[in-house]
Structure 1
Amino acid sequence: MEIVYHGIIIFISGYVLLRVTGKKAVSEMNTFDLLYIFVLTNIISSPLEEESVGKALIYAVLIVILYKIFIRLSLNNKLRWILYARPTVLIRNGDIDRKGLKKVRMPMNELLSNLRVKGYPDTQQIAMAAMEETGSISVIPKAEYRPIQPNDLNWKVKKEFLPIPLIMDGQIIYHNLKYLQLEQKWLMNEVEKRGKTAENIMLATFLEDGTLFIDDNVMINHHHDPHYYTPGKDEK
């Protein structure tokens, strides 16, 4: 029973400490996921130092069970608000919430940097920005600054078509050929028409019009065209 108590105490203590540290430290993972990976990794590696394989396995199984229990509990609407941190508002209707910034321990320049990455250089353009439980920042622009949608202009657009890969890194994706009811012979003929071989193709995709797009390993030399300048690279 001592092993069980220790495992529960470690899990709960780690969860509380991560919650106190703040969402920013979690960075794209929720608290439970981060704690689960951290604790499980340390438990699995402990036999290398202490030569206690049996005890480590018991701890690992216990942590997995606790993780599954917490995930199941998080499906309950009432318990979810207790187990997970709520979003923290950073900007509301163009006004920066300084209390929110202080709560998530984010300096102003970092907030502005995150907004620029999402394409909003001016805080006045934002209806609401919030830090989610995963540590990521979600931004909802004001109506006049959001991208124009086809529905705004009463445009009818065709259904989006997802190009289907048939060759990746020189390997044929046979199950996609089967899904499209295409033969390998057709694919090879299309490849040979372009003077290519499957082994030299990085990506070949089946397009909506029934044609094949091919991206091979050859980089086009643009002969110092300023439009293709690569920062930080010495060109000769």
Structure 2
Amino acid sequence: METLYHGIIIFLTGYLLIRVTGKKAVSQMGSFDLLYIFVLTNIISSPVEVESVSKALTYAVIIAILYKIFIRLSLHNKLRWVLYERPTVLIRNGDIDRKGLKKVRMPINELLSRLRVKGYADTQYIAMATMEETGIISVIPKSEYRPIQPNDLNLKIKKEYLPIPLIMDGQIIYHNLKYLRLEQKWLINEVEKAGKSVEDIMLATFLENGTLFIDDNEIKSHKNDPYYYTPGKDNK
């Protein structure tokens, strides 16, 4: 029973500390973010081996406070460039920067692979590619090769509408109903009109035109349509 109690305390403490220190610590992590998560996980897991829950949790809280202080300091312009590593240029104006590749210890074939993932097959079309502090490669194409934007053609585009989920995994999202000032009775009627039940619906969203889009759990038969092919031996 004591082991279970300790396990719950350690788990909840770790969860709360990560929540308190913010989303940045669990997003695309920089070097210090990675260090923080690594140290924190080792500290909160140590009581499982040495049975020193209070001491380990105290250390965990201290580490979390230090991390918060570091993040605050990084908001100041003068300290930001000291605390965080600068981006490394890998391609400039279509030319591969060998010094940049050497600095980040990346072979050319890996660079080309990462560029293909981002949709760039030819380096000569790239104005600048840099490796950010988080390890992600950001790419800016040359102006003549960038995708055409509506503004380039003087087109007026209506504001983007985000479909609002009202049912997810068979459960009604009541706070979204309240936000839209809709009643549960209206939602149930719409679901029944479609011949469905709430429990069978994977996702139902409120659309811009005021209608309800329903995605149920049923998989439509594709009858060997080549467009539905998936690799492997499970195709029938």
TM (norm. structure 1) is 0.86
Q: How does 1:191-206 map to 2 (within 5 A)?
A: 191-206=191-206
Which range moves more in the overlay, 123-132 or 44-53? 44-53
Bigger RCO of structures 1 and 2 (CA < 8 A, at least 6 apart): 1
Letter in 2 for 1:109: N
**For the residues of structure 2 that align with 1:58 and 1:234, how far apart are their CA atoms?**
52
Q: CA deviation at 1:227?
A: 1.5
The corresponding residue for 2:71 is: 71
d(CA) in 2 for partners of 1:225, 1:51: 59
Structure 2 residue aligned with 1:86: 86
> What CA distance in whole angstroms lies between the structure 2 residues aligned with 1:227 and 1:212?
27
Moved over 6 A (4+): none
> How many residues are paired up?
210
Kept in 1: contact 2:229–2:235 (CA 8 A):
no
**For the Cα contact (< 8 Å) 2:43–2:56, is it kept in 1?**
yes
Distance 1:221 1:184 in 2: 32
- State the alpha-carbon separation in 2 of the partners of residues 172 and 55 from structure 1: 44
| Partner residue, 1:223 | 223
- Report what 1:12 is aligned to: none
Aligned to 1:57: 57
Q: Could you say what secondary structure the match of 2:81 adopts?
A: helix
Q: Deviations over 1:134-164 (max 9, x none)?
A: 1111100011111100000000111110000
What pairs up with 1:1-236 in 2 under 5 angstroms? Answer: 28-236=28-236
Structure 2's unaligned 5+ residue stretches are 1-26
Identity of aligned residues (%): 82
What amino acid sits opposite 2:71 in the alignment?
Answer: I
One-letter amino acid of the structure 2 residue matched with residue 143 of structure 1: S
Output the CA distance in 1 between the equivalents of 2:229 and 2:177.
38
1:53 positional shift? 2.6
Rounded to whole Å, the distance in 2 between the matches of 1:114 and 1:106 is 11
Cα drift, residue 185 of structure 1: 1.0
Aligned Cα root-mean-square deviation (Å): 1.3
